[in-house]
């Protein structure tokens, strides 16, 4: 069994994608997203991607709206990457004038979260 050094992967990608070329500091998350997106597109079982228009939530349950969005996502993106790594992120918009609410569930491949700063507590005896 042979291994591949991460540098060799980065160098190979850098030949095709200039932002990953050379010795500059790149965001590791950006590289992972790039690799997963390429893998997903190559393995996507959907070749003819239909246009999907989502309806407003109109007070329907989150479960119902999320399932509708997921069916739309799968209608265009169906790969092992989707199966194992995609999720849904809920967002809600509320009109300040009439208080109408609308929720949607967008697909995500990676979710960047802030790393909390360490909090040091000094204990005095």
What are the boundaries of each domain within the chain? 6-43
Would the pTM count as exceeding 0.75? no
Instruction: Give the per-residue SS3 of the chain.
Output: CCCCCHHHHHHHHHHHCHHHCCCCCCCHHHHHHHHHHHHHHHHCCCCCCCCCCCCCCCCCCHHHHHHHHHHHHHHHCCCHHHHHHCEEEEEEEECCCCCCEEEEEEEECCCCCCCCCCCCCCCCC
> What does the alpha-carbon distance between residue 59 and residue 85 come to, in Å, rounded to a whole number?
29
pLDDT in tens, the chain (125 residues): 678 887 788 888 888 888 888 776 667 788 888 899 999 999 999 999 999 999 888 889 999 999 999 999 999 999 999 999 999 999 999 999 998 889 999 999 988 888 888 777 777 77
For 3-10, the CB contacts below 8 A with 24+ separation are none
Q: Supply 30's token pair.
A: 């950006």
- Which residue shows structure tokens 């849904």? 88
């Amino acid at each position: 069994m042979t291994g591949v050094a991460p540098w060799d992967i980065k160098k190979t990608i850098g030949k095709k994608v200039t932002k990953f070329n050379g010795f500059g500091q790149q965001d590791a998350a950006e590289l992972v997203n790039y690799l997963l997106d390429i893998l997903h597109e190559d393995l996507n079982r959907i070749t003819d991607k239909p246009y999907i228009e989502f309806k407003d939530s109109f007070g329907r349950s989150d479960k119902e709206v999320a399932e509708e969005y997921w069916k739309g996502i799968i209608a265009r993106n169906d790969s092992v990457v989707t199966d194992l790594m995609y999720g849904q992120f809920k967002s809600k918009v509320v009109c300040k004038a009439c208080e109408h609410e609308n929720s949607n569930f967008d697909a995500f491949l990676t979710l960047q979260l802030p790393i909390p700063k360490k909090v040091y507590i000094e204990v005095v005896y």
